[in-house]
Amino acid sequence: MLKNNLEIILITFNRKNFLQKTLSSLLGEHSPVREIQLTILDNASTDGTGELLRQYAARYPNIKHIRNPKNIGPNANIVHAFELAQKPYVWVLCDDDEYDFSAFEEVVAAMEEKADLIVVNTEFTQGDATFPALYRLLTFLPAAIYKTSHITSEVLINMYNNLPNWFPHLAYTADMINHNNRHIVSVSSNIVKRGGEENNEWNDKTEDLSSKTLPLTAKYSPFLPPSQKYKFIEVGYLASCELIQDKHLRAQAVRVCQPNKSLCRIFRNIIKQNIRYCQSFKGNYAIVGSVLNTKQKLLFFLQKTFSFYRIRFFFKHLFASIQKFEENK
């Protein structure tokens, strides 16, 4: 029954150790998903992931290994996963998370109920999978099991358009919110937990922002236009919020950008990061400005104008250019 209903697609690139751990927990003796079809999209890894997967595919008949001829980047790989889905439900996984299948029966029950979205992580929704916390939660890719029939062309095209904004998969959730009569089921305890490298991704540690400021693309790209280079994770999330059509709901989604923080604080963080690591890139202000509603826009504008960091940045630049001018003379 479960076999015909669910498929798992796992995306991976050059993380052999994490992948091995993930696979052994997915295929372990007590795992309820060990007989489900598992497709692994390998982004042309070079660290021996290919050999490992070949071994697994030989041992387990339900594993299918697809290797892209070139590394197409992590986000495109995510969209490929959604594109390949065929069974009624699809669960797209990353290679570095931890699993605890004690509440899996609820998922099976929800599938029988024909739920439109099954949330398997309750990190900050505390069980009630309601908007807007849901939108923020689902930035974490494996946090939900998606219904394939809702991945229409429209959703796929929006996913492709949302590729540069860090979270292409939010197009599905946005589509669901835009048609607000969908049935969402949330499990009572976490089935998937964040693990591995991105554990503290969104934590607001002011010392170490530089690592998360750079988008994933910067690792690979020979040259990125500034609009891409400087799009850090919060800006990516806010840009994804544009997919929500209802203005009121969009404003709510903006408010939970960094959970447990006031809007002022969120804006201040964004402005601070933008000045510290992105040379006060105007495009980011424009993106954020275009998502906000009038009231939020006003707040953002005020903060931007009177930000201590921005004034300091302005004078720094002014002095630097004066100095340069005098040297040239």
Partner 1 sequence: MILSEQLELFLPTYNRREHLERTLSQLTAPESPVRSCMLTILDNASSDGSSELIEDFAVRFPTIKHIRHAKNIGANANITRAFELARAPYVWVICDDDSFRWEAWEEIERALGTQRYDILLTRKNDLKGTSDIAKIIRQLSFLPAGIYRTSNISTGVLMNMQANIINMFPHLALSCEVLNKKGNIFLPQGEIMDKCTFDHTPAKICYTKGYDVVPHPFVQNMSWTVGFLNSIRMINDPALYVYILEHLGRHGFFGYIFSSFRANYTVYAGNALNKHFIADALPLKQKIKFYLACFCLRITTFFSSRKNKSF
Is 125 an interacting residue with respect to partner 1 (CB under 8 A)?
no
Q: In sequence order, what are the residues at sequence separation of 6 or more whose Cβ sits closer than 8 angstroms to the Cβ of residue 103?
A: 187, 188, 189, 190, 191
Stretch that binds partner 1, among 46-54, 163-171, 255-263, 318-326 (CB under 8 A): 163-171
* In the complex, minimum distance from the CB of residue 316 to partner 1, in angstroms, rounded to a whole number: 19
Q: Which amino acid is at 141?
A: L
Using CB under 8 A, pick the residue from 243, 251, 270, 278 that binds partner 1. Answer: 243
Is 164 an interacting residue with respect to partner 1 (CB under 8 A)?
yes
Stretch that binds partner 1, among 26-34, 95-103, 281-289, 315-323 (CB under 8 A): 281-289
Is 83 an interacting residue with respect to partner 1 (CB under 8 A)?
yes
* In the complex, minimum distance from the CB of residue 239 to partner 1, in angstroms, rounded to a whole number: 8
* In the complex, minimum distance from the CB of residue 95 to partner 1, in angstroms, rounded to a whole number: 18
Residue 87: closest CA among 145, 162, 43, 136: 145
Is 282 an interacting residue with respect to partner 1 (CB under 8 A)?
yes
Looking from the CA of 156 toward its CB, the CA atoms found within 13 Å total 14
Stretch that binds partner 1, among 18-26, 32-40, 113-121, 220-228 (CB under 8 A): 220-228
Per-residue binding string, partner 1, 177-216, x by CB under 8 A, is -x--------------------------------------
Stretch that binds partner 1, among 32-40, 72-80, 183-191, 299-307 (CB under 8 A): 72-80
Is 318 an interacting residue with respect to partner 1 (CB under 8 A)?
no
Please report which residue ranges of 98-202 form alpha helices under DSSP H: 104-112, 133-137, 153-161, 170-178
Is 224 an interacting residue with respect to partner 1 (CB under 8 A)?
yes
Using CB under 8 A, pick the residue from 46, 86, 181, 294 that binds partner 1. Answer: 86
* In the complex, minimum distance from the CB of residue 260 to partner 1, in angstroms, rounded to a whole number: 28
User: CB-wise, 153 or 260, nearer to partner 1?
Assistant: 153
- String of b and e for 209-238 (b: at least 16 CB within 10 Å)? beebbbbebeeeeeebeeeebbbbbbbbbb
Sign of torsion over alpha carbons 65, 148, 245, 264: negative
User: CB-wise, 58 or 322, nearer to partner 1?
Assistant: 322
The count of residues interacting with partner 1 (CB under 8 A) is: 47
Using CB under 8 A, pick the residue from 22, 45, 49, 75 that binds partner 1. Answer: 75
User: CB-wise, 56 or 167, nearer to partner 1?
Assistant: 167
* In the complex, minimum distance from the CB of residue 210 to partner 1, in angstroms, rounded to a whole number: 20
Q: Which amino acid is at 235?
A: V
Q: Are 230 and 269 in contact (CB under 8 A)?
A: no
DSSP letter, residue 106:
H
What separation, in Å, do the N-terminal and C-terminal C-alpha atoms of the chain show? 80
Sign of torsion over alpha carbons 82, 85, 89, 93: negative
What phi and psi, each to the nearest 5 degrees, are found at residue 89? -125, 145
Query: What are the DSSP calls for 227-268, one per residue?
Result: HHHT--HHHHHHHHHTT---HHHHHHHHHTSSTT--HHHHHH
